[in-house]
Amino acid sequence: MFLKEEDKKEEKLLLFSSLKSQEINQVFLSKNSFKNGVFIVKYLKSSGEKILVTFSKKLKLNKPQKNKVKRQIQHILRDEYKELELKNFHIVFILIKLPQENIFQLLKQNIKSILIQLKDVEKTI
């Protein structure tokens, strides 16, 4: 089934609609998190899907670099999130280390492993 162009835009916006500060505080207070070599991921089981991508202050990236990496991460998340059919999570991805080479491929591998871990968490809840 093909989605209309406006439905695709709406779907994009729903997944990456911004977390409100109160929701971000709840995610951080929940203490549900794990870490791999590239990301720290904090999550909270919730009534809807919202994802926030942010960067560690220790990463010295200028705005264009951050925007490019953020777009890449959001693209990967959109594809992988749909594939795994995760439901009802508020997720905060904190990029702590940027790979030097093959950035897109390494980000994709890390994000996929993180989402698989979240899928396992979803099954246990």
**Can you tell me the mean pLDDT for 23-42?**
85
Residues 89, 46: contact at Cβ < 8 Å? yes
What's the pLDDT tens digit per position in 44-77?
887 777 888 889 888 888 899 989 999 999 899 8
| Other residues' Cβ atoms within 10 Å of the Cβ of residue 53 | 19
Residues 90, 98: contact at Cβ < 8 Å? no
Q: Name residues whose C-beta falls within 8 Å of residue 28's C-beta, 6 or more positions apart in sequence.
A: 42, 92
Number of H helices, E strands in the chain: 4, 4
**Can you tell me the mean pLDDT for 29-44?**
87
Give the model's pLDDT for residue 95.
92
Give the model's pLDDT for residue 51.
84
The interaxial angle of helices 63-84 and 103-124, nearest 10 deg, is: 40
Assign 15 a pLDDT band (cuts: 50, 70, 90).
Answer: low
Q: Tell me which fold the domain 5-124 belongs to.
A: Ribosomal Protein S5; domain 2 (3.30.230)
